[in-house]
Amino acid sequence: MLRVNDRDFEVCIENLINNKKSFIVEKKRRDRIIIVNGKKVVGLQKNVTIKLPHKKKRSVISLFANVKKSFQRYAQSQEGVIEPIEQLHSPTYRSKKDFSSLDMGEKMYYVDVSHCYWRIAYLLGYITIRMYKSVLTEDKTNDYKLWRNIALSSTIAPKIVTHFEYGELIEEVKEDTSATKIMYQNIRFTAYNIIGEAKEAIGKKGCLNYRIDGMLILPKHLRKVKKVFEKHDLLYEVVECRKVGEYSYLYNGEKIKKF
């Protein structure tokens, strides 16, 4: 398939119309493709590319397609009716006052939720156990967590298909992604709600900060946080931290992070 820039892509469409050809234009996000007689002939040159070895790149592209198919299968099994989950907590929290009051060198724990969005997608039934495990166990690059999360978010992007017959515009069909939008929102809100629930379980001054997939706490609150995560079947890792600056801490004895 030939890849061209925006201007040349439009020229290709214009030439097909002028020559009264029948063809299809598929559009999704920045990607656009011209299909003639069932064959992809011209595609828009993308500014952003997946910078991975060829084999890995194919794996990531396959991941995107398989996740979307899995979401669509689930939506079909529910006849397109997905119950939305209410957002009860914010995705982030931080108390600079509580952190500043700690003594230098004081121990803390960072409870890091493992593959948070990916696991929640599995727990909600949006992806199968086979897909869940295969993606985690295969040999991946360090950036694969990013691609995994992008694959989940890409499920909300609709495909727009424009049909031309003998150079005339016949119809434009936009894919209905209302169900998958709710599903992706449910993944995010579930993560927010679990981490917020853990914060509530240890009280206002127990949590120093949290974000979607982890929280920084004082050691005495570890048991309660673990109990909340285990109740929701989340996997996690406990990492020891020490305060080393007014607003910084040593993570796992080797990396200094800003509070």
Higher per-residue pLDDT: 154 or 144: 154
CA 105 – CA 205 distance, rounded (Å): 19
Please count the other Cβ atoms lying within 10 Å of the Cβ belonging to residue 25: 20
CA 252 – CA 2 distance, rounded (Å): 49
Does the structure show a pLDDT above 90 at 38?
no
Average pLDDT over residues 50-65: 71
What's the pLDDT tens digit per position in 200-244?
Answer: 999 878 899 999 999 999 999 999 999 999 999 999 999 999 999
Does the structure show a pLDDT above 70 at 142?
no
Give the model's confidence band at 140: pLDDT under 50 very low, under 70 low, under 90 confident, else very high: low
pLDDT, mean over the chain: 89
Does the structure show a pLDDT above 70 at 22?
yes
Give the model's confidence band at 146: pLDDT under 50 very low, under 70 low, under 90 confident, else very high: confident
Average pLDDT over residues 149-163: 89
Task: For residue 255, give both structure tokens.
Answer: 């990396």
User: In three state form, how does the secondary structure of 104-145 look?
Assistant: CCCEEEEEEECCHHHHHHHHCCCCCHHHHHHHHHCCCCCCHH
Higher per-residue pLDDT: 4 or 199: 199
